[in-house]
Amino acid sequence: MNSLNRFIKDELWKDLAALYDGTGDVLVMNESYASTVSEVQGYENFATDTKVIYTVVKEVEVQKVEKTETNYTNTLFMIFFGESDSRTSDLSLYTRTDVDMLLTVDPVNKQILIVTMPRDWYVKNPALGNGYDKLNHLGNNGLQNTMDGLNNEFGFSHIKDYFELNFVTFYNIVEGLGGVDINNPTAFSAASGDEVGGKIYGGEYYFEAGPLHLDGNEALSYVRERYNLPDGDYGRNQHQTIVIQAIINKLTSKELIAHYSSVLQNLQGNILSSISSEDIYSLAEMQLNDGGSWNFVSYHLDGIGDSNVTASMGDQLLYVAYPLAKQVTFAKQQMEKVMSGQVITQETLPTDDQTTYLPN
């Protein structure tokens, strides 16, 4: 971690303490740190304890990198899927991602491998001198930074595309699809409703085990709940994968494919992706022409829960999850197989006696 970054973060915590003990009246900070502050003991209610009284937007020039033209209908590719923790309808390339998964797609053999990583995974942050950080913090320096970090963690360079949703746009997509159908492995309760722009998203639900049809609010609560799950974020990762697969199944269904132009139009503004709408439409046309079903394989990587300092937040201890080497190696092997055109099947993910989840 460079000394300037450490100084900025240390000053933030000093100013935050001053605000809470009454010796300071206002706090100037990067808004992207707000969610992280709420993770720290003593500041859990930061969002409701404070009020944004003034916002400054700084425009920066971003270097545009020309992207190689790709025919996604016959090219194997890997895409980072991230869901921002933003509670607005705005999508940004610079955002904390609380859903982090990799989709390895083989359109020729019609298979998709989904690998989900814990948001608290302790990995190197390329934008901050490769200091160790929580995976979801990497996005504060841009989704490209997240992709670079994951490429480094897995030891390849396959991740070149991204697909981002957020709190509100996820709801809009599920509603726009008329809901999704899932098979819930274990019954649980969820209580995660939030108000955005005067509207409540999510809510209190009890999800029975077995086949379920979820509307937008139900799906949102289903993928967000972690406190009522015995394995917390790890169980939530499984639920996120289940719903993402259900969304893909709905998008590739015959009843929607035939009306894909209107479907894409309804989804405009709800996704931020490096893959153009024309490329997405080409994939839809391919699916409409051959009508074949897709093979899904998924793995939810675990970690060892602990507390440690992070490159993005200075010396403040935060909850982190150390990646398990066995699982990282296995996941890399499976992703490499798909990227080489091999057909894979669901296998048992290597476990480790050290796998632990600590409530946070």
pLDDT of residue 1: 41
Q: Which helix (H) or strand (E) holds 255?
A: helix 254-257
| Nearest CA among 252, 262, 258 for reference residue 283 | 252
CATH class for the region spanning 77-169+224-339: alpha beta
Position with higher pLDDT, 105 vs 228: 105
- Listed in sequence order, the residues at least 6 apart from 219 whose beta carbon sits closer than 8 Å to its beta carbon are 170, 171, 174, 179, 180, 243
Position with higher pLDDT, 36 vs 298: 298
Task: Tell me the whole-structure pTM to 2 decimals.
Answer: 0.86
| Domain parsing of the chain, residue ranges | 3-49, 77-169+224-339
Taking residues 133-143, report their average pLDDT: 94
Taking the C-alpha atoms of residue 91 and residue 275, their distance in angstroms, rounded to an integer, is: 15
Q: What is the dihedral of CA 93, 98, 85, 4, to 10 degrees?
A: -60
Taking residues 249-257, report their average pLDDT: 81
Average pLDDT of the chain is 87
Q: Does the pLDDT at position 6 exceed 80? A: no
H and E: helices and strands count for the chain = 11, 16
Print burial letters for 18-41: b (CB count within 10 Å at least 16), e (below 16).
ebeeeeeeeeebeebbbbbbebbe
Q: Does the pLDDT at position 85 exceed 80? A: no
- State the helix-helix crossing angle for 167-176 and 232-251, rounded to 10 degrees: 40
